[in-house]
Amino acid sequence: MRDTLHEILDTKKMLERIYKAQTLMDAACKALGRQINIMEVCGTHTVAIFRNGIRSILPGRLKLLSGPGCPVCVTDQGYIDIVLQLADRDDCLIATYGDMIRVPGKGGSLETKQSSANVKVVLSSEDALQLAKDNPDKIVVFVAVGFETTAPATAVVVKEAAKETIDNFCILSGHKLVVPAMRALISEKNHNIDGFLCPGHVSVIIGYRSYAEIVERFSRPCVVAGFEPMQIIEGLGEICRQLAAGKAELKSVYTAVVTEQGNVTAQKIIAECFEPVDGYWRGLGEIEKSTLQLKDKYSRFDALKRFDITETQTEDTSGCRCGEVLCGLIEPQECALFGQSCTPQEPIGPCMVSSEGACAAWFKYGPERRRKQ
Amino acid sequence: MCLAIPARIVELEGDKAVVDAMGNRWKAKTTLLPEAKLGDLVLIHAGFAISLVDEEEAKETWRLIAEINDFNQTQNKVSG
C-alpha cells in the first residue's frame, strides 16, 4: 500500500531539487555564453541518463558527452582476438563476465563459441577460480576486464590462487585506470570538456581525491555522482555552479558510499598484485601507465606469459567510429554504421555490444527532446 | 560494469558472506571490507562488498528497483 501523502511530499521535494539544479545550469549557460560540455565518464551514467530522461530537463546549451568509462568498449581488438584464440584451445576454459561475450572479433565472438562449452559466463572472479578447482585438467583463463571497481576482485583471486597453488588458473588482464584516461582526454584528444561527472563506484575504490590532479592541473570541475537520477541532476548542477563562479573544485554528491580516500584495503590489494603499465585503449590510443599488469611475483598467473602471447593492436577498417564516440568527439548517430549495419542484434563495434556502450544506449532510448531555454 | 547493489549481510564466516537484498540471497566476499559485520548494509559489486552503505540510501535504491519491477510486471495499457 502506498502512502499518498508521503508520495506527494516526496514529489514536491524532488521537483524543488530539480528546479534548484536547473537554475544552476541556466546560470552557467548565461555566465559562459556558449555551449557547455560536461563529460559523463562512466558507461553506467550514460545508460542512467537515458533511462531517466535526464537530457529532457537540461538547457539546450548544456551538452553531455559520453566518455570512455565502458571497459568493454575501450578494450582493444587485439585483446579480444587473444581471448578468441584461447577459446579455440581444447586445454582452455574461458571464464568471463557476461558483457564481453558478444564483442565481435576474428572468427566470431565468445558467444558463438559458447556452444563448444569452452566459455563460461561468471558473475564473480571467485566463480572463475572455482571453475579452475573443478576442472583440474583444463587451464582456466579469466577475462579480467574492468576499471578500478573490478580490479580488486581479480587481485583477491590471484592471491588465493597463489596461496592455494591453483596452477591451472590465469588471468588475461584488461584492467584499466580511469584517471589516466581522463587526463589523456583533457590534455590531448578533446579540449571541449568543461567539467567531468565522475564515476560512482570507481570512486568508492579510488576515493574522490584521485581526481585532484584533473581539477588542479586542468582547472576542470570534477564531481562524483551516484546512478540515481537525482544524484546525476544534482551532480550536474554542482558542476554548473562551479563553472558559473569560474571555479574548479573536487566534490562528491555520492556521500552514501564515496569518501575522499576510498577503500584503502582494495587499493592495497591492487598495489600488491598489479602495477600500472602503458596500455592501448580503443579510441584513445596508447595511454601512459593506464592499464594493470600483474607484478613479477604473480606473473605465473598472467595468461600472456603462460601462453607466450604478444599483444598487438589491430587496425579497425570496418568504418566503426567507436573510438570517436568514446572520446566524446561525435555522437553515435554521426557514425554511418549506426542503426544501419551496426545494431544491437548485429553489432560491429563494442559500443553497440556493451550494455553500457553509448551506441547501444542511443539506439535503445532514441533521440531525446531538449528543454527549451 | 559499475553496477552494484546494496545488500544486508545475513551470514558471515571469515570473509565469506551471504547477503540479502529485497528477499534475494546470494554469496559474496567481504575480503575488501574487513570492517563489515553481520547485519551491516554493504554495496556489492561482482561478488564483493566494496563499501558500507547508509541505511536510507539503500532503501531508496531498493524502492526504485521494486518500482521498476512493478512497472515491468503491470499490463501497460494506453488509455484514451
% chain B with pLDDT above 90: 55
CATH of the domain at A275: 3.40.50.11740
Residue in A125, A200, A256 closest to B47 by CB: A125
Q: Is A5 on the interface with B (CB under 8 A)?
A: no
Whether residue A175 is found in the same domain as residue A43: yes
Percent helix, strand and coil across chain B, each to the nearest 5: 25, 40, 40
Whether residue A287 is found in the same domain as residue A338: no
If one compares A100 and B67, the residue with the highest pLDDT of the two is: A100
Residue in B28, B51, B54 closest to A204 by CB: B51
Please say whether the beta carbons of A38 and A197 come within 8 A.
Answer: yes
pLDDT digits (tens, 9 = 90+) for A5-41: 566 667 888 899 999 999 999 999 999 999 999 999 9
Residue of A nearest to B16 (CA): A126
Distance of alpha carbon A206 from alpha carbon B10, whole angstroms: 27
Whether residue A99 is found in the same domain as residue A159: yes
Instruction: Give residue limits of the domains in chain B.
Output: 5-73
Residue ending a domain, choose from A318, A335, A357: A318
- Quote the Cα angle for B51-B53-B58, to 5°: 135
**Based on the structure, what is the number of domains in chain A?**
2
Regions of chain A where pLDDT drops below 50: 1-2, 369-373
Judge: A257–B43 Cβ closer than 8 Å, yes or no. yes
pLDDT digits (tens, 9 = 90+) for A159-186: 999 999 999 999 999 999 999 999 999 9
pLDDT greater than 90 at residue B61 = no
pLDDT digits (tens, 9 = 90+) for A325-368: 988 889 999 999 999 999 988 888 888 988 888 999 999 887 65
- Residue-level pLDDT at A307: 95
Chain B residues with CB-CB distance to A149 below 8 A: 1-2, 4, 45-46, 50
Domain membership flag for residue A7: no
Judge: A150–B34 Cβ closer than 8 Å, yes or no. no
Residue of B nearest to A127 (CA): B47
Lowest mean pLDDT among A32-41, A325-334, B25-34, B52-61: B52-61
Q: Chain A, 150-179: which have a CB under 8 Å from a chain B CB?
A: 150, 152-153, 156
Q: How far is B35 from chain A (nearest CA, A)?
A: 10
Whether residue A353 is found in the same domain as residue A285: no
- Cβ-based neighbours of A117, under 8 Å, separated by 6 or more: none
Domain B5-73 sits in CATH at 2.30.30.140
Chain B residues with CB-CB distance to A258 below 8 A: 51
- Residue-level pLDDT at A86: 93
- The C-alpha cell that represents B41 in the structure block: 548494509
ipTM of this predicted structure: 0.88
Q: How many CB atoms lie within 10 A of CB A314?
A: 13
- Quote the Cα angle for A181-A186-A191, to 5°: 140
Whether residue A88 is found in the same domain as residue A151: yes
Judge: A156–B43 Cβ closer than 8 Å, yes or no. no
Residue in B1, B52, B54 closest to A146 by CB: B1
A369 to A50, A199, B43, B78: CA distances (angstroms): 11, 25, 34, 21
- Residue-level pLDDT at A115: 57
Q: How far is A84 from chain B (nearest CA, A)?
A: 21
Containing structural domain, residue A356: 322-365
Whether residue A346 is found in the same domain as residue A254: no
Chain B residues with CB-CB distance to A41 below 8 A: none
Domain membership flag for residue A18: no
Judge: B1–A356 Cβ closer than 8 Å, yes or no. yes
Of A237, A172, A260, A208, nearest in space to A18 by CA: A237
Beta bridge partners of B20: B8, B25
If one compares A152 and B58, the residue with the highest pLDDT of the two is: A152
A26 to A59, A66, A237, A263: CA distances (angstroms): 7, 21, 9, 36
Q: Report residue B79's pLDDT band, with 50, 70 and 90 as the boundaries.
A: very low
Please say whether the beta carbons of A303 and A169 come within 8 A.
Answer: no
Say if strands A36-42 and A119-121 run parallel, antiparallel, or are unpaired. Answer: unpaired
Whether residue A310 is found in the same domain as residue A356: no
Q: How far is A319 from chain B (nearest CA, A)?
A: 26
Whether residue A302 is found in the same domain as residue A334: no
Judge: B32–A204 Cβ closer than 8 Å, yes or no. no
- Residue-level pLDDT at A283: 84
Residue of A nearest to B43 (CA): A257
A112 to A84, A101, A116, A349, B25: CA distances (angstroms): 10, 8, 9, 16, 31
Q: Is A207 on the interface with B (CB under 8 A)?
A: no
Q: Report residue B4's pLDDT band, with 50, 70 and 90 as the boundaries.
A: confident
Whether residue A313 is found in the same domain as residue A184: yes
- The C-alpha cell that represents A29 in the structure block: 549557460
Interface probe, candidates A201, A252, A264, chain B, greatest B C-beta count within 10 A: A201
Whether residue A269 is found in the same domain as residue A170: yes
Whether residue A326 is found in the same domain as residue A275: no
- Residue-level pLDDT at A327: 87
- Residue-level pLDDT at A18: 92
Strands (E) in B4-67, as ranges, are 5-13, 16-21, 24-29, 41-45, 48-52
- Residue-level pLDDT at A259: 95
Q: How far is A174 from chain B (nearest CA, A)?
A: 13
- The C-alpha cell that represents A38 in the structure block: 560536461
- Residue-level pLDDT at B57: 73
Whether residue A243 is found in the same domain as residue A296: yes
